[in-house]
Amino acid sequence: MRSSLNALIKREISVVLRSQSEFIYPLAFFLIVTSLFPLAVTPDPVQLAFLAPGVIWVAALLSILMSLNSFYQLDYEEGGLEQLLLAGVSGRDIVMAKSIANWLVTGLPLVIVAPLIGVLFDINWDANKIAMLSLFLGTPSLCLIGSIGMCLTLGLRNGGVLLTLLVLPLFIPVLIFGASAVQAAAIGTNFSGQLAILGALLVLSIMLAPFAGAAAMKIAID
Amino acid sequence: MWTWFYQLASPKWFYQFSTRLLPWFRWITGLLFLLGLALGLLFSQVDYQQGNTVRILYIHVPAAFMGMFAYVVMAITGAIGFVWRIKMAHIVSVSCASVGALFTLLALITGAVWGKPTWGTYWIWDARLTSFLILFFLYLGFMALHNAFDDKKTADRAAAVLAIVGLVNIPIIHFSVEWWNTLHQGATISKFEKPSMDADMLAALLVMLAAYQFYFLTALMQRVRAEILVREKLSGWVQKLVTGNNS
């Protein structure tokens, strides 16, 4: 069973990597959106350092939201999903594999690039490390929660906008604890509580999101 | 008892049954509102700090309660419909959404109106206010998702999944928002400081709560009836009902 999950993950990653440059978009989006804030708000380093945790987290959340589509929509339209389900692969495994692949292709690069944004926003190294760590713990939850919304909107004409409406309220807990961990690190207070809750949210979404996603996927394919 | 329960799941039977019930519910709702508003606005005591502004409590608190209550009803009936594929449960679930969203909006608006004289501002990023705003977004998402599908059956099932996911998330969102706020600025205005409530204030509040509850049932019933007519428009009894009684 685990080997089937591995095979699924490999399939997802190779499908996305072969679709030319699409997987780069969310990362580019992340960089561009974050660099808009100094232009729009202020170039003052003190205020930028104050804004940084929120900006990094909101931008990361939106890039994950953007990346979901490339993992599901084409697969659904071309019938790949239906074939997988017909072949007896469980919906939960598909959602899990897609989320893992999604995180490896989109989430992990965000984690790696985040310190660069931190440097641009002039936050200290401690906060930068925690930004990486909180994104590392938080972005997988976002991929999993997002997959529920994605499965619900499969095959809808205006799915993209609707996806935002459905998923963003559910992202709020991760956003709150992710950003506040970075903030706490930046002012030098204890941040372990926030990271622990991010971890708990991750465990919870690993447990529950595949069920909901699979149920939603079956509705779309019926 | 059980046959009665089964019959409730038949749209036609529910429609006829509710036709007889509806006038009663309307009357009870109206009387309860009259009684509750009279108690609240005329006969209850004035708060020693807030003066007459405290009277908005009788509109605001029941609306907030019903906003949450309607979401729970929506999610549970959605789950029942999803698991046992009961048409009526889905109809009730979908009908809850707009009524519940209105309650939530009412709570937000009355809260803002109340906030201005007491807190000095219409809106504050307080934990309760924020989680209510998010609840409103959840309702909007539910309605938008249900409207996005052409096929009602698919729409019902998808919306039910979303409602259940939302129900699991509401406590998490609520606690995280609460935590976020206390972390940021300490409890400036934690929640509304309740002066341990006077007996006649409590009585007025409870009557208003009952009035809102009956209003919810009445409005829900009417929405359900309209939804039944739309969905069953091809069946014989609806066509007979619409085109005239005897033909």
Which pLDDT score is estimated for B196? 55
Which pLDDT score is estimated for B237? 87
Using 50, 70 and 90 to split pLDDT, how confident is the model at B188? very low
The mean-pLDDT minimum among A17-21, A128-132, A191-195 falls in A17-21
Which pTM value belongs to this model?
0.89
CB-CB under 8 Å, B138 with A169? yes
Rounded CA-CA distance B8/B15 in Å is 9
The alpha carbon of residue A47 is apart from the nearest alpha carbon of chain B, in Å, by 17
Which pLDDT score is estimated for B93? 96
Give yes or no for B144 touching A (CB within 8 A): yes
Rounded CA-CA distance A201/A135 in Å is 13
Residues of B in contact with A219 (CB under 8 A): 154, 157-158, 161
Query: What is the overall mean pLDDT for chain B?
Result: 85
CB-CB under 8 Å, A169 with B173? yes
Q: Which residues pair with B51 in a beta bridge?
A: B47
CA A218 from chain centre, in angstroms, equals 23
The mean-pLDDT minimum among A61-75, A192-206, B166-180, B181-195 falls in B181-195
pLDDT (tens digit per residue) in B189-221: 444 554 456 777 888 889 999 999 999 999 999
- Are B146 and B76 in contact, with CB atoms under 8 Å apart? no
- pLDDT reading at A1 higher than 60: no
Query: What is the overall mean pLDDT for chain A?
Result: 91
Instruction: Work out how many domains chain A is built from and give that number.
Output: 1
Helices (H), ranges, A41-90: 45-77, 80-86
Give yes or no for B177 touching A (CB within 8 A): yes
Which pLDDT score is estimated for B245? 64
The alpha carbon of residue B17 is apart from the nearest alpha carbon of chain A, in Å, by 32
Residues of B in contact with A181 (CB under 8 A): none
B51: left (phi over 0), alpha (psi -120 to 50) or beta: left
Which pLDDT score is estimated for B220? 95
Q: How many CB atoms lie within 10 A of CB A204?
A: 17
Structural domain containing residue A75:
2-221
- pLDDT reading at A174 higher than 50: yes
- Are A142 and A168 in contact, with CB atoms under 8 Å apart? no
Please tell me the number of Cα atoms within 13 Å of B98 on its side-chain side.
Answer: 13
Mean pLDDT of B174-201: 61
pLDDT (tens digit per residue) in A35-57: 999 999 888 888 888 899 999 99
